[in-house]
Amino acid sequence: MLIASAIVAPFTSGWPDPLRTAVVITVVVPIAVFWAVPTLAKAAQRMRGVPPEVVAAACSARTLPASDTVGDITRDSSSDPRR
């Protein structure tokens, strides 16, 4: 975040601090969410020896079936390992 602030500073000199911070956050958060965190998670899994197929399956965009969603009152609690 400090690096992004330094990069944005010449373009936002004279702006109020809250506005400058909003610009930095608007840049940093998408980069972190869509590139940095998934890349670091994959690297950590590879270092732990997790097979590439498992890494690919864990990182793919999948949706949960409706019966497994959090807060669904029709969920079958007999198969829930937390109970």
Tell me the whole-structure pTM to 2 decimals.
0.52
Interval 11-29: pLDDT, tens: 999 999 999 999 999 999 9
Interval 57-79: pLDDT, tens: 776 655 555 555 555 455 555 55
CA separation (Å) from 79 to 39, 60, 63, 64, 68?
Answer: 33, 25, 20, 16, 11
Q: How many CB atoms lie within 10 A of CB 76?
A: 9
Which residue, 69, 45, 68, is CA-closest to 55?
45
